[in-house]
Chains A and B, each alone.
Chain A
Amino acid sequence: MSTAVVDFRSAVRLAWLLARPGAAGGSAAGLPVLAFGLVTALLLIVLAGALSFFRWQDPAAGLYQLLAVLALVLLVLPLLTLGGAAARLSARRRDDRLSTLRLLGATPSTVGIITVLESTALAAAGAVAGVAGYLLLAPLVQLIEFRGAPIGTAFWLNPLAVAGVAAAVVLLAAASAAAGLGKVVISPLGVRTRQAPAKVHWFRGVLGALVIVAGYAAVSTGYASAAIAIAVVLGTFAAGLAVLNLLGPWVVAVLGRRQLRKASTAGKLLAARAILESPKAAWRQVSGVAMTSFVAVFGGTGAALAGSSPQETMGPEQFIAGDIRTGILITIGVSFLMVACSAGVNQASAVLDRADLYSSLDRLGMPRHVMDRARIRAVMLPLLLVSLGSAAVAALLVLPLAGLALVMAPLSVLTIAACLAAGIGVVRGGLWATGPVMAKVLEPAR
């Protein structure tokens, strides 16, 4: 028998041992399943909604289909963030055990197979739950009206497409677990042997500023053809999002250093150090809201623009303005939902990750509210900075296009303000939802 087969067999046996009920805390397995379920359900619903636009054949349908694709593209990023968070959580919750197995002499490939098997199994359970969620929520989503009629039966996806989406989620989880393996396999002594914190280079700031200036110049220029102008706007939009991702970690690191200098209490000191420990991870926790508030500025202005053009009272155009608004609100709403879930999942894995530390701090007499405030602060501070900052960058890029009047129009200001408030509230809610995880972590100490 080849060693690969032996490896696989022992891995399956070990994975089965580790997976038995009671072997791990229920919440540790439940959370990734829940997150994978949400990813699958939201992905199916959004896809179904967007594809329902393709039943129309008339000339005006082209605009709808274009916008549906745009909405899908916008939702891909938060969706991937959530999927990645779920995958990290499912892989991470076993880090300690896997390191132990490694110390006990399990070969790297055995450990690797176990990790991938586990994540895949959790994702498969989540995907099944997600399909059920899609079916359960369908009656509600079908009521949404486009072009004067509810979506209705056009909402149903081809069963093959449903299976395809579920399979894609499972594959994403497996791939992400495999990608995260390096850490466990390289260091049997655990992932916690971290040394100096990751540095984020100031060069990111310079590069980001350059792209913003270039984008501003590009959208300010007049273009002869409408097609080129649209391409420039979409290009600027994409470049803006890219800049956010580039600038985000650097801005968060600068914030962390400022906070560290100012920190006067134990909670503030812990929060600042947590941000500085990995500005990239801190950014990842809030990047979804940054994207969403960026989209909200473009979307809010777009909605105001659609509302300001003279209304057609007849024909297929009469619904366009209202439908664009509906579409924008749905896109923003769904992306918030995903951001909230990622925040919750990320926080839950952060707490599980540091279970030992939290329970020892509890033993030393650190009050629970100090620990809670520190971890909430470590998320909320970057969140406030980053969501306001990205709204400002978006406004800067939209200004030459739409003009001050439209950016400042009541509808767009309202949309933008509501989005910012909802985004901040939703992440706070996600943090709040991890309270029980913290309680569970501290419980054995009592």
Chain B
Amino acid sequence: MNSTRTGSTRYTPDAVPAPGPSAARMTIPAPTDPAASARAQHPSSRPVPAILSARTLTKTYGSTTALSGLTLDIRAGESVAIMGTSGSGKTTLLHCLAGIVLPDSGRITLNTAAGSTRIDSLNESGRSRLRRESFGFVFQQGLLIPELTALENVAIALMLNGLDRTTAEQASAGWLQSLGLAGMEQRRIGELSGGQAQRVAIARAQVTGAGVIFADEPTGALDSATSAEVMQVLLDSTTGASKTLVVVTHDDTVASRCARVVSLQDGRLVGDSAGGAR
């Protein structure tokens, strides 16, 4: 397991492209030496501003209420675990925060160096662009493209943002290597184990330099040892590089690795380790 950690995936914050739909400029983040991250510390005294802020979100599906007036602030560089019983609205909240679904009412604001973006008022193509440029995703099943190789699956995220294939594949190879997948670049997804496929998905989520990574039960289909490894890789490459991680999980072990745990019940926030429950 340690071998996957030595290939550190941290990089300087100035390599991270300014998030937001206006971020036309693409910078390829490359794994750099751990010393660089020392320079990337937040000023510890001032409170870090919320990178994502959701206000009184409601969402219903027919007669089912998935979210009812939920308010949540997520601070930059934070790792937040969202917990709660099945059907409590975790996935719906994640999808609203990420601009995958629109809430029926309420506001979602993304605050970055480039300015503030009201995610709930963007149109479909604006949200699509936001998702591919500013966010990274890891789902329970990697949902990788089966006919593509591991390398191509990662590179395609960069190619969608307009990078040429050679550059995209070089950057992707670096990420695969740093996540412990060296030598597996040309394998197809069916030829990888569940844990390896999840790492490819993590590489795909990270390679664009997205500032916020969303994960929905990323270790849900893995055994506990593999789950711990994948979680370590995920944390190293996100909060370890001053990125924000929002992870939905049922697993207490996974949640305990996160800096903050929020609990949902019937579409409401009922617990927040940061003390912000309301």
| Main SS class of interface, B | helix
Q: Is B87 an interface residue (CB 8 A)?
A: no
Among B155-163, B170-178, B267-275, the stretch in contact with A: B155-163
Tell me if B156 and A196 are in contact (CB < 8 A): no
The answer to whether A364 and B148 touch (CB under 8 A), given A263-B165, A370-B160, is: no
Residues in A with CB closer than 8 Å to B124 are 446
Tell me if B147 and A264 are in contact (CB < 8 A): no
B132-187 at interface with A (beta carbon < 8 Å): 132-133, 135, 137, 139, 143, 145-148, 152, 156-157, 159-160, 164-165
Please encode chain A, from 258 to 295, with 1 for each CB lying within 8 Å of some chain B CB and 0 for all others. 00000111100110011011000000000000000000
Residues in B with CB closer than 8 Å to A270 are 145, 148, 156
Tell me if B130 and A269 are in contact (CB < 8 A): no
A264 to B128, CA, bound (A): 21
The answer to whether A445 and B148 touch (CB under 8 A), given A193-B190, A265-B159, A365-B129, is: no
Tell me if A362 and B188 are in contact (CB < 8 A): no
Tell me if A269 and B132 are in contact (CB < 8 A): no
B188 smallest CB distance to A (angstroms): 7
Q: Is B104 an interface residue (CB 8 A)?
A: no
Tell me if A269 and B165 are in contact (CB < 8 A): yes
A308 to B148, CA, bound (A): 55
Residues in B with CB closer than 8 Å to A365 are 128-133, 135, 160
The answer to whether A361 and B130 touch (CB under 8 A), given A266-B160, A445-B100, is: no
Tell me if A276 and B157 are in contact (CB < 8 A): no
Chain B residue nearest to A359 in the complex (CB): B143
A351-380 at interface with B (beta carbon < 8 Å): 356-357, 360-368, 370
Tell me if B160 and A264 are in contact (CB < 8 A): no
Q: Is B2 an interface residue (CB 8 A)?
A: no
Residues in B with CB closer than 8 Å to A276 are 147
A329 smallest CB distance to B (angstroms): 40
Residues in A with CB closer than 8 Å to B146 are 192, 194, 357
Q: Is B73 an interface residue (CB 8 A)?
A: no
Tell me if B147 and A274 are in contact (CB < 8 A): yes
A382 smallest CB distance to B (angstroms): 15
Residues in A with CB closer than 8 Å to B160 are 266, 365-367, 370
Chain A residue nearest to B133 in the complex (CB): A365
The answer to whether A273 and B148 touch (CB under 8 A), given A193-B190, A266-B159, A366-B132, is: yes
Please encode chain B, from 88 to 116, with 1 for each CB lying within 8 Å of some chain A CB and 0 for all others. 00000000001011100000000000000
Residues in B with CB closer than 8 Å to A361 are 145
Tell me if B190 and A273 are in contact (CB < 8 A): no
A270 to B146, CA, bound (A): 11
Tell me if B156 and A269 are in contact (CB < 8 A): yes
Q: Is A158 an interface residue (CB 8 A)?
A: no
Tell me if B152 and A273 are in contact (CB < 8 A): yes
Chain A residue nearest to B190 in the complex (CB): A195
Residues in B with CB closer than 8 Å to A446 are 100-102, 124
A145 to B159, CA, bound (A): 57
Tell me if A367 and B128 are in contact (CB < 8 A): yes
Q: Is A62 an interface residue (CB 8 A)?
A: no
Q: Is B33 an interface residue (CB 8 A)?
A: no
B117 smallest CB distance to A (angstroms): 14
Q: Is B125 an interface residue (CB 8 A)?
A: yes
Residue B137 contacts which of A192, A195, A266, A364 (CB distance < 8 angstroms)? A364
Tell me if B132 and A360 are in contact (CB < 8 A): no
Residues in B with CB closer than 8 Å to A194 are 146, 190
Residues in A with CB closer than 8 Å to B251 are none
Residues in A with CB closer than 8 Å to B190 are 193-195
Chain B residue nearest to A192 in the complex (CB): B146
A362 to B165, CA, bound (A): 21
Q: Is A425 an interface residue (CB 8 A)?
A: no
A354 smallest CB distance to B (angstroms): 9
A365 to B101, CA, bound (A): 12
A4-26 at interface with B (beta carbon < 8 Å): none
Residues in B with CB closer than 8 Å to A196 are 188, 191
Q: Is A197 an interface residue (CB 8 A)?
A: yes
A367 to B123, CA, bound (A): 13
Please encode chain A, from 59 to 97, with 1 for each CB lying within 8 Å of some chain B CB and 0 for all others. 000000000000000000000000000000000000000
Residues in B with CB closer than 8 Å to A367 are 125, 128-129, 160
A360 to B146, CA, bound (A): 13
A445 to B165, CA, bound (A): 28
Tell me if B159 and A363 are in contact (CB < 8 A): no
Residue with the highest number of chain B CB atoms closer than 10 Å, among A192, A196, A363, A445? A363
A149 smallest CB distance to B (angstroms): 56
Chain A residue nearest to B101 in the complex (CB): A446
Residue B143 contacts which of A195, A197, A357 (CB distance < 8 angstroms)? A357
Please encode chain B, from 51 to 87, with 1 for each CB lying within 8 Å of some chain A CB and 0 for all others. 0000000000000000000000000000000000000
A393 to B157, CA, bound (A): 42
Residues in A with CB closer than 8 Å to B100 are 363, 445-446
A357 to B128, CA, bound (A): 16
B163 smallest CB distance to A (angstroms): 10
Chain A residue nearest to B142 in the complex (CB): A360
A277 to B148, CA, bound (A): 9
A137 smallest CB distance to B (angstroms): 41
Residues in B with CB closer than 8 Å to A192 are 146
A425 smallest CB distance to B (angstroms): 28
A110 smallest CB distance to B (angstroms): 27
Besides A357-B145, A365-B129, 14 other A-B contacts (C-beta < 8 A): A194-B146, A194-B190, A263-B165, A264-B165, A265-B165, A266-B156, A269-B152, A270-B148, A273-B145, A273-B148, A362-B128, A363-B131, A368-B128, A445-B100
Ordered by A's residue number, 10 sampled pairs between the chains whose C-beta atoms are within 8 Å are A195-B191, A196-B188, A264-B165, A266-B159, A273-B147, A357-B145, A364-B157, A365-B133, A365-B135, A367-B128
Question: Shortest 6 CB-CB distances between A and B: which pairs?
Answer: A365-B132, A365-B131, A360-B143, A266-B159, A277-B147, A273-B147
